[in-house]
Amino acid sequence: MASREFLKILRSARQGDVFAQQELATIYLQGHFNTPIQPNNALVWLEKAYLATLSKNGPGDLQGHAPNNPPSNPLSELFTQLVQIPLAATFGSPSFHFAWDRFWELAVEGSSEARWQLANLLLNPKQLDLQEQLATWLNKQLLCDDESLAKLQTQCKRYLEVIAAEESFLANKAKDLLIQLQPKNELLTSLWNNWLSSQDESALQQAAELGLTTAKLTLGLRLAQPKTHTEKKNGSSKSNAPLKKAVHWLELAGKDGDPHAWYALGEIYRRPQFSGYSAQESDRCFDRAADLGHAEAQFRKAANLWRKRDKLEEKITGLQASYWAWQAHQQGIAEAHALLMKILLSCPNPAQNAWYTLAQCAELALARHSDHQLNGGWMLMCHRIVIANQFNFSKTELLLAEIDQLQLEHCVVVDVRWELPKILPRLTQIETTQQRRCLFAASKAVEQLATIREPNDAEFLAPGEGNLRQRRYRFERLSQWLRQNFGPQLAGKKSPIKSQGLQQQI
């Protein structure tokens, strides 16, 4: 049975609420509220939100709507959600035409996520059947002939090369796909097929010597396999020749950008029987594999960093380890989740936290800040209360945390040692969409207030938000005002004070 909160969001989405439509798309995409992951449904609701936003703001807002544009654009967040949808999984959806057009627009404007999705759909050899269906669809829907399709594939190949040259989480995927798309002449194809069909060692050797990355990796892994009892009996078990040859071929494959080659090298350098044994070199190879996106290497690197955390010169202990553990967990490594639980705090349910009621009042105040004439300092304090509830901050952390510097890719970092040196930093997981939303809204508010300051906002004109004493005083005044104005509303009663300005009430 669907939860009440999900049904409430669904009802609002059906009534045309753009925010609810986007939130519903996120639910279908990430499986919140025990909802099955359904990319097609997520795409349908994003199309509805797009059309509603477009009709409300006009076609002029389409200019410059790539996800990396400033958040002032009403379509920016929507397209950030859109590029997270697996495009290949939505083929056949009634909204696929919408997704196809938007993805190409975003790719032209420089979105790496959109470029990767299109390249993966049009070029990935594992999706040949889908590419044939797509060619038929393009011919019927867009009157796109084989020559036009070839031009699109060529453009996607250029996009892949650009992504591979960038320093982003998609670079490793792009390099891997480029390896699969290496030009294979007839000889290479024949040699590789001969190896696959008859396990011909000489064919594998020739393919590796001719530069086929997959053949280099396969040959290196075969040479690195431990000897069987029969092989040891027939030959010398002390010889390092096979391992040295394995290292040679794996290094060549690693230089081509293959993460599995670097991981295998790391294991070889850890073998006691290998004459070139080196724990330091092994760690370097594992690090290279982790940088290229190898899940097991990422977990190994995370565990190594966490084990050596006391010896590392980190500004915040455990931050590097948590990042690599999170990367490994994103790729399905079960052990990485257990390590994350050791490093990061978890608080996915804000209703269980101490600031829940006050945070609800603060959210209502932010939604109606113009009616209540909230100035910059009070708005920032409201955002602080909302964030404190989502991540279960203490009162000191609520008052002192730098809200525009809290969010990293995988967690929230609370470091108040600039004011209170004895309080250790705290790392907390970002687990829900609402947590990311409140951090995004707070950062946006800080940016806006830094550029547009109100003439009568004397408190915010002061450097920063003041010291701890000043922030505590502002917090106490604001808390009293929030409870007086919005507490009765949360209890189901009418507020005894009508929409008066904040300065008139306190």
For the stretch 177-194, pLDDT in tens is: 887 787 667 778 888 888
- Tell me what pLDDT residue 184 has: 61
Whether residue 266 is contained in a domain is answered as: yes
Picking from 428, 353, 346, the residue whose alpha carbon sits closest to that of residue 386 is 353
pLDDT higher than 60, residue 456: no
Distance CA 88, CA 66 (A): 20
- Tell me what pLDDT residue 205 has: 92
Percent of the chain with pLDDT strictly greater than 70: 86
Same domain, residue pair 258 and 280: yes
Average pLDDT over residues 410-425: 90
Whether residue 459 is contained in a domain is answered as: yes
| 426 three-state secondary structure | strand
pLDDT higher than 50, residue 279: yes
- Tell me what pLDDT residue 458 has: 46
- Tell me what pLDDT residue 461 has: 39
**Cα–Cα–Cα angle for 15, 19, 23, rounded to 5 degrees:** 100
Picking from 108, 115, 105, the residue whose alpha carbon sits closest to that of residue 78 is 105
Average pLDDT over residues 75-79: 83
- Decide: 266 and 294 in contact? Cβ < 8 Å: no
Q: Scanning the structure block, which residue is given the tokens 């599995």?
A: 260
Q: Which of 36-40, 72-76, 85-89, 402-406 shows the lowest per-residue confidence on average (mean pLDDT)?
A: 72-76
Whether residue 186 is contained in a domain is answered as: no
Who's near 349: CB < 8 A, 6+ residues apart? none
Same domain, residue pair 245 and 356: no
Picking from 374, 382, 373, 442, the residue whose alpha carbon sits closest to that of residue 412 is 442
Distance CA 22, CA 8 (A): 14
pLDDT band for 448, please (50, 70, 90 cuts). confident
Same domain, residue pair 420 and 469: yes
Whether residue 211 is contained in a domain is answered as: yes
Same domain, residue pair 452 and 366: yes
- Tell me what pLDDT residue 452 has: 61
- Decide: 155 and 162 in contact? Cβ < 8 Å: no
- Tell me what pLDDT residue 453 has: 55
User: With b meaning 16 or more CB within 10 Å and e meaning fewer, what string describes 210-236?
Assistant: eebbbbbbbbbbebbeeeeeeeeeeee
Same domain, residue pair 30 and 119: yes
Distance CA 198, CA 216 (A): 18
β strands within 398-446, DSSP E: 411-414, 426-429
pLDDT higher than 90, residue 250: yes
- Tell me what pLDDT residue 462 has: 39
What is residue 412's DSSP assignment? E
- Tell me what pLDDT residue 247 has: 94
Whether residue 232 is contained in a domain is answered as: no
Structurally, the chain folds into a number of domains equal to 4
Same domain, residue pair 36 and 175: yes
pLDDT higher than 70, residue 494: no
Same domain, residue pair 273 and 397: no
What is residue 226's DSSP assignment? P
pTM for the full model? 0.60
The domain containing residue 97 runs over which residues?
4-180
Same domain, residue pair 301 and 288: no
Tokens of 351: 């209703």
Same domain, residue pair 359 and 317: no
- Tell me what pLDDT residue 238 has: 52
- Return left, alpha or beta for 390; rule: phi > 0 is left, psi -120 to 50 is alpha, else beta: alpha
pLDDT higher than 90, residue 216: yes
Whether residue 234 is contained in a domain is answered as: no
Whether residue 399 is contained in a domain is answered as: yes
Whether residue 233 is contained in a domain is answered as: no
Across the chain, mean pLDDT equals: 84
Same domain, residue pair 104 and 153: yes
- Tell me what pLDDT residue 320 has: 93
Same domain, residue pair 37 and 175: yes
Picking from 378, 380, 381, 376, the residue whose alpha carbon sits closest to that of residue 455 is 376
Same domain, residue pair 360 and 312: no
What is the phi/psi pair of residue 413, to 5°?
Answer: -110, 120
- Decide: 287 and 300 in contact? Cβ < 8 Å: no
